[in-house]
Amino acid sequence: MKKIVFLAITLAFVQGLFAQHNEEVTIEGSYRPKVNKVNKIVLKPDTPEQTFVMPESKVKVLDNEHRFSLNIEKLSPLSYNSKNAPGENVAKNFLMAAFGSRISPVFLYRHNSNLSKNFGLSVGIKHYSSWLDMKDYAPSGFMNNAFEIGISDNDLAGYQLDGKVYYKNDVYHYYGIKTKEWLWDQVSLDHAAPQQTYNTIGTHWRFAPITMSTGTLTHSVGLDYHYLFGVVGSGWEHFAKLDYDLGYAENLWGRKDNPQKMGVAVSAQYGLVGFEEVQGKYNRLLVKMNPYFEMKDDFYRLHLGVRMDVGTKFNSSDALFRVYPDLTGSLFVLDNALEFYAGLNGGLKSYTYRDLVEENPFVATRLKMDITNVKLGFDGGVRTNILNTVDVHVGVRYRHTDNDYFFNPRIVSAYNAMIEDRPYNSFDLVYDETKQVSVLGNVRWLVMDDLTVDAGFTYNKCDPAKEEHAWYRPTTEGNLNAVYQLNEALSINATFCYQGGRWAKTRPTLGEAAKSVKLKDAFDLGLGAEYKLKERFSVFVKAENLLNQKYPYYLDYPVMGIEAFAGLKLAF
């Protein structure tokens, strides 16, 4: 989502280790065809081969991809070839181990194998932690652990099944208290800045067709569930989501290999949150229905639909029913080298407590989690490719949202924080109606076969109806990434990130009301290098936040500063 604190480094880096889209450590399993809404006719999969992509050790300055995300889609559908593109190494196992200067061990292991011709198994383990406290602050350790096991089956009467179960254990120590400002004893400090633990057990399943023929109905089903427990105040959460898509393709006009498709997508999600400390719990239900019609040709793509959303909170009389447009289209000209796109959308969003924890680990317990309503959204822009060496994307976004949320300090007195298990410097949610306009641009330039540069910039203007500022949301964001392949064995990369124009609200004190403060701009620079000793064995080093900027992402939660890592990667 939006922002992060010191633990951005931790959450971001560790999440990057497992994320399929993260270039820093990308682990790919079987290359099985995935079916999108617009399906090809007769999509027959080959026998899957267990293949890992040997990851690049790209610097992720405070997770440039996840937390500094400019929310930019991929550029044009065109691509280029270069020597610094990741190579493929067939292997069943991948191991990565590293150690950081803040006493930060990193460990990642993945296994993929075929138990039969069409049945695959995957196993993953990860660990990342640091126990070095930040000077002048209360304890600031953290630890992230995860285990997952997944299966895939490519031969279920023309359908494909993918699923996994996982366990996550995240431990954080609140450190948003400057100990020199208070006469804390250890007991009081443990209450005011407690160790926070989030345990998550979950599963994800997807059942989709691997063949598509005209005149035939297709079904896609997805299921997600997680149970979060161990939260301060004996908090817990159950969340389940079921998605179903029924589609039918027919060649009403045009070429036979470009059939039209009509269908309906339905989803239902249910969340139940409770805190035994106060014997309180509440639940929410959100149901969505989206009938649609799609058509395409060589020079256009068109999706016409309507969204009908119903949201209810059973512990109150609030209920929402809304209808939204669901329109997207693209026009390709100049032999597909230039794309114009636009779309109208909207919808209800019911986020989970787990979502909030991943966005801000220091959120308070017993939050009021409302349903957000994107009344109207617009996306438009241009993508182009120039001489197969430069990709350019310029776009504009607009969102008019009810119940948009911001993070503000929870009102807890220092005295109560000392005697209760309630974090003193934690964050609550405030809601407001917002109108946000974003103008964004991104350029990817293949300078030469050995050098690639990516640059992005976004300007955001968010106007809340009641709040003085859009708390913690940056006005400007930018990033610059460069990768240079010095030779066949050695690659060097650099990343620079920037965020500015963020505002926060202070905590009210005795005799002084809360006030708004402008946070220090974020300037972050990182360098990294990887050396391949063997085809499947390499060593790497990386340094993050070389400018040693201890800017805050949330008030009184500054970034740790410079850190160096060294490690190895092995595929076998």
> What is the pLDDT, as a whole number, of residue 62?
39
DSSP 243-284: EEEEEEEE--SS-TTS-EEEEEEEEEEEEEEEETTTTEEEEE
Q: Is 346 buried (19+), middle (13-18) or exposed (0-12) by CB count in 10 A? A: buried
Tell me the C-alpha distance between 391 and 235, whole Å.
47
Tokens of 232: 């301060």
Question: Are 261 and 294 within 8 A, CB to CB?
Answer: yes
Question: Are 530 and 498 within 8 A, CB to CB?
Answer: no
Tell me the C-alpha distance between 260 and 293, whole Å.
7
SS3 158: coil
DSSP 550-565: --EEETTEE----EEE
Q: Give the bridge partners for 142, in sequence order.
A: 130, 172
| Residue-range domain boundaries for the chain | 8-571
> What is the pLDDT, as a whole number, of residue 226?
97
Note the maximum CA span of the chain: 78
- For the ranges 6-15, 47-56, 292-301, the maximum mean pLDDT occurs at 292-301
pLDDT digits (tens, 9 = 90+) for 349-386: 988 999 988 888 888 877 778 889 999 999 999 999 88
Tell me the C-alpha distance between 71 and 3, whole Å.
13
pLDDT digits (tens, 9 = 90+) for 154-188: 888 888 999 999 999 998 887 777 777 766 777 77
For the chain, the 3-state helix, strand and coil shares in percent, each to the nearest 5, are 5, 55, 35
Question: Are 185 and 407 within 8 A, CB to CB?
Answer: no
Alpha-helical regions (H) of 360-429: 414-419
CATH T-level fold of 8-571:
Maltoporin; Chain A (2.40.170)
DSSP 26-72: ----B------SSPPSS-PPPPP-BEEEPPP----TT-TTTTS----
Tell me the C-alpha distance between 31 and 52, whole Å.
10
Contacts of 157 (CB under 8 A, 6+ apart): none
Q: Is 424 buried (19+), middle (13-18) or exposed (0-12) by CB count in 10 A? A: buried
Question: Are 6 and 141 within 8 A, CB to CB?
Answer: no
pLDDT digits (tens, 9 = 90+) for 72-106: 333 333 333 333 344 444 578 989 999 988 888 98
Does the pLDDT of residue 460 top 90, yes or no? yes
- The residue to which tokens 């910039």 are assigned: 457
Other C-beta atoms closer than 10 Å to the C-beta of 334 total: 9
420 falls in which pLDDT band (50, 70, 90)? low
> What is the pLDDT, as a whole number, of residue 415?
59
Among 130-144, 436-450, 545-559, the least confident range: 130-144
Tell me the C-alpha distance between 372 and 196, whole Å.
27
Among 285-289, 315-319, 431-435, the least confident range: 315-319
Each residue of 155-166: b (16+ CB within 10 Å) or e?
Answer: eeeebbbbebeb
